[in-house]
Structure 1
Amino acid sequence: MTRVPPSLLRHRVRIEPYLGDGAYGPVYGPAAEHPALVSNTVRMIRAADGRTVTSTAQIIAVPGLDCPPGSRVTLPDGRITTALVSTGHTAPGLPVPACSEVVTE
C-alpha cells in the first residue's frame, strides 16, 4: 500500500487530540505539528453524532493520524477549529495512496 507523497503535504497543522471531558471541561493531549494538505472549502457534512453541520476546512495527512472528533486543530492561517470527523482511507491493491482525512468546523 502506498502512502500519500510527502511532497503533496505542503501545510503544517497543529493537533491537540481530544482525550475526554474533565472536571473543568475538555481535556486535550500534547500538541503536535503534522504535515498536511488543507482545503478551506465550505461544505455540509454529517458529524459523528448524526448532526448535519458546516465544515470550513478539510485536512489530508499521513495514515494513522491521531485526531479524534473534538480535537483542537490549528490551521496554517492561525485559525483554531475543532475536528468533527476523522477517517482513514485505504484502497488495497489499487494505485491510490493511503491517507487520513480530518473534517473541521
Structure 2
Amino acid sequence: MSRLPGWLLRHRITVEPLLGSGAYGDEYGPETVVRCFVDEQTRNVRAADGADTVSSSTAYCPLDTVAPPGSRVTLPSGRQTTVVNALRRDGGGLPTPDHLEVQLE
C-alpha cells in the first residue's frame, strides 16, 4: 500500500466522528486533528444514502482516518461542516496514493 506523500498533507482539519443519535441529538466522538490536503471546490456528489447533493470542499486524508458520513469537521479556515461521504481510494497493492476522500457540505 502506498500512502499520500507527506509533503502533500499541507492542511490540518479537526474531525469529530459521528457515533449515532441519542436522546439529545447527534453524538460525536472525540476530536482528532488530521493532516490532509483540502480542495475547496463546489461540485455535485452522491451522498451515502444515494441522494445527489452539493459538496463545497473535499479533504484527501490518510486511509486510516475515521470520518463516517454525518461527522463534524472544522476546516483550516475555521468553518464547520459535515461529512457527506467518505470514499476509500485503495489501489489494492498497486503503486497508487491510497487515501480517504472526504466529501464535505
Q: Report the TM range for the smaller structure's normalisation.
A: over 0.9
- Asked whether the equivalents of residues 13 and 76 of structure 1 are also in contact (C-alpha less than 8 Å), the reply is yes
Matched, 1:78 2:84: no
**3-state DSSP of counterpart to 1:26:** strand
Structure-1 separation of matches of 2:49 and 2:92: 29
Give the aligned partner of residue 92 of structure 1. Answer: 92
Report the Cα distance in structure 2 between the residues aligned to 1:88 and 1:16, rounded to whole angstroms: 18
**Residue by residue, what CA displacement relative to the aligned partner does 1:36-78 show, whole Å, maximum 9, x if unpaired?**
0000000001101111111001000111210000000000100
Any residues of structure 2 matched to 1:1-105 within 5 Å, and which? 1-105=1-105
| RMSD of aligned alpha carbons | 0.9
Taking the aligned partners of 2:87 and 2:44, their CA distance within structure 1 comes to 16
Distance 2:104 2:93 in 1: 30
How far the C-alpha of 1:95 sits from its partner, in A, is 2.3
Alpha-carbon distance in 2 for matches of 1:62, 1:14: 14
Deviation of residue 93 (structure 1)?
4.2
3-state DSSP class of the match of 1:7? helix
TM-score when scaled to structure 1?
A: 0.96
Would the aligned equivalents of 2:9 and 2:35 in 1 still touch at CA under 8 Å? Answer: yes
* C-alpha contact (below 8 Å) 1:64/1:88 kept by paired residues: no
Counterpart contact for 2:2–2:93, Cα < 8 Å: no
The structural deviation recorded for 1:92 is 2.8
For residues 96 and 19 of structure 1, do their structure 2 counterparts lie closer, same or farther at Cα, with a shift above 3 Å needed? same
Gapped regions of structure 2 (runs ≥ 5): none
Q: Identity across aligned pairs (percent)?
A: 45
After the TM superposition, list the runs of 4 or more consecutive aligned residues in structure 1 that deviate by more than 2 angstroms.
92-95
Across the two proteins, how many residue pairs are aligned to each other? 105
